[in-house]
A and B are shown apart, each in its own frame.
Chain A
Amino acid sequence: MQTPAAFEYERATSVDGAIASLERLGSEARVIAGGHSLLPMMKLRLANPEHLVDINDLTELSYIREQEGEIRIGAMTRHVDLLRSDLLAQHFPLFRDAETVIADPVVRNRGTIGGSLCQADAAEDLSAVCAAAKASVVIRGSGGERVVSMDGFHVGPFTTAVGAAEILIEVRLPVRPDGGSAHEKVERRAGDWAIAAASAAVWMQDGTIGDAGIALSAVGLTTIHVTRAEELLRGKAPSDELFAEAGAIASEDCSPASDGRGPIDYKRHLAGVLTQRALRRATARALHQEA
């Protein structure tokens, strides 16, 4: 029987209250959101917090809304709500692509976007989705709030810019004209983590790609931001040849490990193919030509 080691538990009734608790309890305290990454880690003693601060009552952090030219998502928004949101699907369809294949519907009832991003597991899908969509996150501590881009957010394996007594409260996605996006994932069976996954977003400008975002899941120690391929695409007219080139860069710039999900060369190959597919679909969506 797997049960977490003993800890003390308290419930936060406000964001600032949760931050104050984290500050008071020190480095052995953690917030628990959906608990679907943290509790499995605690069962395995990969995480041993002495205090848990439960933020599930902070329903003020559960929303998806359009504000000041951005889509803003509260940290406690659950996978099921991300999947169902038409507003999100309209502006960033890669979220719905990803949410249909993240875990299974029952797990999706609990897991949150804040927990997914803060877990910063390289195999997790939403980190790549947010990186490709050029999202930023709002992090709050007792000293106030700061806004951090996804480049600055991913610090290392399982490590983010969120400090010990800080909480991620919101994800912001700037809405730009003529955008399209897609997430492509290959898994061993329904509900499993990715063997590899690619997220892509493009923003068209006068028939060429004005800007692009590409990120990969499960093919490195962290989410891979494929900035070299993004640079290649900028200012060019979309074509299959161009996407093949971008895919080749993705294959080169990832660093997968061999494991039960497959050997290195297969995963590199997948990263390239999925990047190409995601770019093709993202562009078709931007041009309203999706089959």
Chain B
Amino acid sequence: MTINVSMTVNGAQVSHDIEPRMLLVHFVRETLELTGTHWGCDTSNCGACVVRIDGQPVKSCTILAAMCDGHEVATVESLEVEGQLDPIQMGFHERHALQCGFCTPGMLMTTRALLDENPDPTDHEIRVAISGAICRCTGYKNIVSAVRWAAEHEAATANREG
């Protein structure tokens, strides 16, 4: 049996007939072919699959696509706008916050959500925010530094413009 699900993904309305058991991570990667979202542990432990649903970061391996019907989903592909990287992406670049890059999409979506809520987080607050995300390469230090870079960059930009 299939059901129809419709939702907004990165600002665009999508509608597909899927099996109710399809997890959001597979809907995004396979049905929508948005492969930026990574799929790692499958057990809600690694955080590689994090997307935002109505603004909140959620592990997409542990929610049904059907449960997102009528909601707004944002994946890592939404960060870059018209060739312009989001400051969080620039921070990861500036501070060398990735090596293999497997954890990066989830890290970006999780920390973007953090900055939207708390524009000036402490190192500790950043560590708490990413405590559900595993990075096997960086040792986290550069990720924390990248988030601080983005926070400072955004504050400086707001000052200049304000």
Contact = CB atoms under 8 A, between A and B. Distances in A.
Interface string B41-83: 0111101001000001111001110110100000000000000
Interface of A: 1-9, 11, 32, 35-36, 39-40, 43, 52, 54, 56, 103-107, 109-110, 190-191
B152 interface: no
Contacts of A9: 3, 20, 64, 66
B67 A56 contact: yes
B64 A35 contact: yes
Contacts, number: 77
A7 to B, nearest CB: 6
B112 to A, nearest CB: 13
14 contacts: A3-B23, A8-B1, A9-B20, A9-B66, A32-B64, A35-B63, A40-B62, A52-B64, A104-B47, A104-B133, A105-B131, A106-B58, A107-B59, A110-B63
A129 B56 CA distance: 26
B67 A35 contact: yes
Contacts of A2: 42-43
A35 B21 CA distance: 12
Contact of A107 (B21, B26, B44): B44
Contacts of A6: 1, 19-21
A51 to B, nearest CB: 9
Nearest to B110: A106
A109 B58 contact: yes
Contacts of A36: 44, 62
Contacts of A52: 20, 64
A104 B45 CA distance: 9
Measured as residues with beta carbon below 8 angstroms from the partner, the interface class of chain B is 20 to 34
B128 interface: yes
A40 B131 contact: no
B90 interface: no
Given A103-B132, A104-B132, A106-B57, A40 B19 contact: no
Nearest to A9: B20
Contacts of B23: 3, 39
B6 to A, nearest CB: 13
A36 B133 CA distance: 16
B129 interface: yes
A106 B50 contact: yes
Nearest to B45: A191
Contact of A106 (B64, B67, B132): B132
Given A35-B64, A40-B62, A4 B21 contact: yes
Contacts of B66: 9, 54
Q: Which of B59, B110, B129 has the most C-beta atoms of chain A within 10 angstroms of its own C-beta?
A: B59
Contacts of A32: 64, 67
A6 B18 CA distance: 12
B132 A105 contact: yes
B51 to A, nearest CB: 10
